[in-house]
Amino acid sequence: MADAGMLRFHVPEPEVRPGGTPDFSNVTIAAAGSVPRPEIDVDPRIIRDMAFSIIRVLNRAGEAVGPWAGLLSDEELLEGLRHMMTLRTFDARMQMAQRQGKTSFYMQHLGEEAVSCAFRKALAPGDMNFPTYRQAGLLIADGYPMVTMMNQIYSNEADPLKGRQLPIMYSSKEHGFFSISGNLATQYIQAVGWAMASAISNDSRIAAAWIGDGSTAESDFHSALVFASTYKAPVVLNVVNNQWAISTFQGIARGGSGTFAARGLGFGIPALRVDGNDYLAVHAVAKWAAERARSNLGPTLVEYVTYRAGAHSSSDDPSAYRPKTESDAWPLGDPVVRLKNHLIRLGVWSEERHKQAEAEILDTVIAAQKEAESHGTLHAGGKPSTRDMFEGLYAEMPPHLRRQRQQAGV
């Protein structure tokens, strides 16, 4: 025994704090096209290395390369670009609306647009996502009306959730988007249960679970992996590693584990790690995992390596805990810019058309916003009724609630 002296307590720290120079030299990034694409029925033991690499399709020159390329047509890629640009514009407008006092709260997706937008296109109708609060791209890419999203954010008279939920906690069964809860990780195990139910019912639909890097530390992450592994549930277990959980860098949740994807290996769940800012790679990996689930081959854990470029929420100031320019230094770049460059390289897009599309999308979002605001905002105009506060808790209102509603004079 060399040094059996006093014990020392270990607390992981990010490489750099405010005032420092951003440094991502510790992030090992595989070259685009370098990670093989196994068959979906591969023995999970053979692909353990994939939990430690990064699947990438778009290279620095904007070319789609390697075995995960070639799944999407030019039209589909152009549509994907539009979805990401729409989400970004939507975010910017809603962030501004929050600053203008039209709503109490907002959370942006800046830098993570590819993850949810591309994933949605890998699912089939009837599949169910169990999202966190940072996957609104699932709705945008599925054609859910922006006006309805804004109505929810404004808690106005047209809010489909009747003003009961905090902004951005959307719900749409029709669009395969499970009701968002403020409690982190709870939906991860629920997704597994939904997938188990689909298997019990001999259905063909699959579920997708969503969680962030920080929330993998919650107990329900473990519960989900145990149940998914035990029952071979048809679920895609998504971990969006954007490096930050509010102010806490991902090392606090990850600890000494090599990657979040590697968490799946101990449960016998095949795990892939993918460039989350590469629309093509996200889509290809999502498609692979979805096919695995649909073929009754069981769950797949997918870690999307990305970066939370914006503040955690409208209530957060990241300059208090990380360098202001850190997102610029992020080695996987910006998902919108990368897909744009790829499409320009393909000859189906141009800087000019991109600028034009930006203007068109802004017009569309502003038009949606005007329509939503005609139904009211949090503090002005139409709002849900006080009666709505008492309704809908139970299928049938119990006597004590009926009495309280009468006391409230509604």
Q: Which residues bind other proteins (CB under 8 A)?
A: 128, 130, 160-162, 164-165, 169, 171-173, 178-179, 181-183, 186, 188-201, 207, 219-220, 222-224, 226-227, 230, 392-395, 398-400
Q: Which two tokens stand for residue 336?
A: 């919108």
Q: Which is nearer to other proteins, 45 or 173 (CB)?
A: 173
Q: Nearest approach, Cβ of 159 to other proteins (angstroms)?
A: 9
Contact 188, 195 (CB under 8 A): no
- Nearest distance in Å: CB 218, other proteins: 9
Choose between 188 and 249: whose C-beta lies nearer to other proteins: 188
Specify the residue for token string 């100031």: 317
The nearest distance, CB 209 to other proteins, in angstroms, is 9
Give whichever of 165 and 377 is closer to other proteins, judged by the CB atom.
165
Q: Please report how close the Cβ of residue 394 comes to other proteins at its closest, in angstroms.
A: 5
Cα-flanking dihedrals φ and ψ of residue 218, to 5°? Answer: -70, 150
**Residue with tokens 């029709």, as numbered in its chain:** 174
**Do 261 and 254 touch, CB atoms closer than 8 A?**
no
- Compute the least distance from the CB of residue 134 to other proteins, in Å: 18
Q: State in angstroms the smallest separation of the CB of 240 from other proteins.
A: 20
Nearer to other proteins, 199 or 280 (CB): 199
In sequence order, the 6+-apart residues with CB closer than 8 A to the CB of 105 are: 98, 166, 167, 168, 313, 314, 315
Q: How far is the CB of 337 from other proteins (least distance, A)?
A: 36
Q: Which is nearer to other proteins, 224 or 378 (CB)?
A: 224
Report DSSP letters for 263-302, one per residue. Answer: HHHTTT--EEEEETT-HHHHHHHHHHHHHHHHTT---EEE
Per-residue buried b or exposed e for 14-28, using 16+ beta carbons within 10 Å of the residue's own CB: bbbeeeeeeebeeee
Give backbone dihedrals phi and psi of 303, rounded to 5 degrees, phi first: -100, 120
Using alpha carbons, select from 239, 154, 234 the residue that is nearest to residue 199: 234
Nearer to other proteins, 179 or 364 (CB): 179
Indicate the residue among 130 and 288 with the shorter CB distance to other proteins.
130
